[in-house]
Amino acid sequence: MSFKVFDKWDLEEVKIEDQGLVNYVCLDEILVPHTMGRHVKRQFAKSRVSIVERLMNKIMRTERNSGKKNKAYNIVRDSMEIINKRSKQNPLQVLVKAVENTAPREETTRIKYGGIGYQVAVDIAPQRRVDLSLGFLTRGALQSSFKRKRTVEECLADELLLAAESDTRSFAVQKKEEKERVARSAH
């Protein structure tokens, strides 16, 4: 028996190509992406929360959608429909590809040594890579829909499609490249 997300899209077709993210992009069999906060009990348990639910949770991080899980659910479901209509692909595969393409590999951290602070490039942990990627994707979608005629669902679908193709018009791809460029300059 295979479960389908939103009763439409099969998870068995979805492949994760970035080997560093395999253990952190969860594609468990879920009927409704809503764990009701069961993952907050242990430190790395959020890596076992479905990537679809994590996307919804990131949408709820803004002031306008704070705590509105049903609204975030509808936004993600409708954007998945739009992705499916436009690209004729499994939207979950598009989401996973977008996360892979927008997850930065390096960033900088501030080191203080002898009273002098300077930036040092460091590798990013896989859990943080996924968190940053989802944050970039949702922030780009919400910013592009703010005070515009286009809906959040359309903007999220556009952002995911552009990010899945590594298109530089995507906000998330731009942020990833900016973060990695700053890290390269700190070497």
pLDDT tens-digit readout, 151-167? 999 999 999 999 999 99
How much of the chain is helix, strand and coil, in % rounded to 5?
55, 10, 35
What's the pLDDT score for residue 29? 60
Q: What pLDDT does 27 receive?
A: 80
Provide the CATH topology of domain 4-185.
Ribosomal Protein S7 (1.10.455)
Domain boundaries, the chain: 4-185
Tokens representing residue 115 in the block = 């009273």
Hey, CA dihedral for 60, 124, 24, 169, is it positive or negative?
positive
CB atoms within 10 A of CB 18: 18
Strands 4-5 and 106-113: unpaired
33: confidence class by pLDDT, cuts 50, 70, 90: low
Of residues 117 and 40, the one with the higher pLDDT is 117
pLDDT (0 to 100) of residue 170: 94
pTM, entire model: 0.88
